[in-house]
Amino acid sequence: MVDEVLTSVPTDTYFMSLALEQAEAAWRLGEVPVGAVVVDAQGQVLGAGCNRTIIDSDPTAHAEIVALRAAAKHLENYRLPGITLYVTLEPCVMCIGAMLHARLARVVYGASDPKTGACGSVLNVGALAQLNHHTTVTGGVLAEPCGDVLRRFFRERRQKETIK
């Protein structure tokens, strides 16, 4: 009998769970809990990030941008073809714009954002035919836990404000 060697390719769910770990890190920093990871086609994590807008005093320090910067630095290239970005919350206009400029192959998000989502909830930037690059967008991966971390965070924040 020949032993089979099982090789498993990590799934979208696995990488979204890594993004959720980044979201929890953002929460510990006092930031809105959004996390992101950037992964190559072989499943190697090239960059990770969480929201840092408050602690960095930087309106562009969304989780996606932090993760894209780390991946680009790792690869020493601002273009990231063949790469997938996983993020716990539907990207905003700024973030999907950066992803399109980076030439990402895929964007995978967890929870939809009915207020600023730019991948179909409020706008669908990637669907604009006039753009010179398009990326595949998949939403709803681990949507419930991704949404839960945000709901818990804001519930806790409201309770603290009520106590004051």
Catalytic one of 64, 90, 156, 161:
64
What distances in angstroms separate CA 64 from CA 130, 155, 161, one per listed residue?
Answer: 23, 24, 28
Residue 64 known to be catalytic: yes
Q: 106: phi > 0 → left, psi -120 to 50 → alpha, else beta; which?
A: beta
**Residue 67 contacts by C-beta under 8 Å, 6 or more apart in sequence?**
22, 36, 37, 38, 47, 48, 49, 85, 87
Closest CA to 47 of 24, 20, 72: 72
* Residues annotated as part of the active site: 64
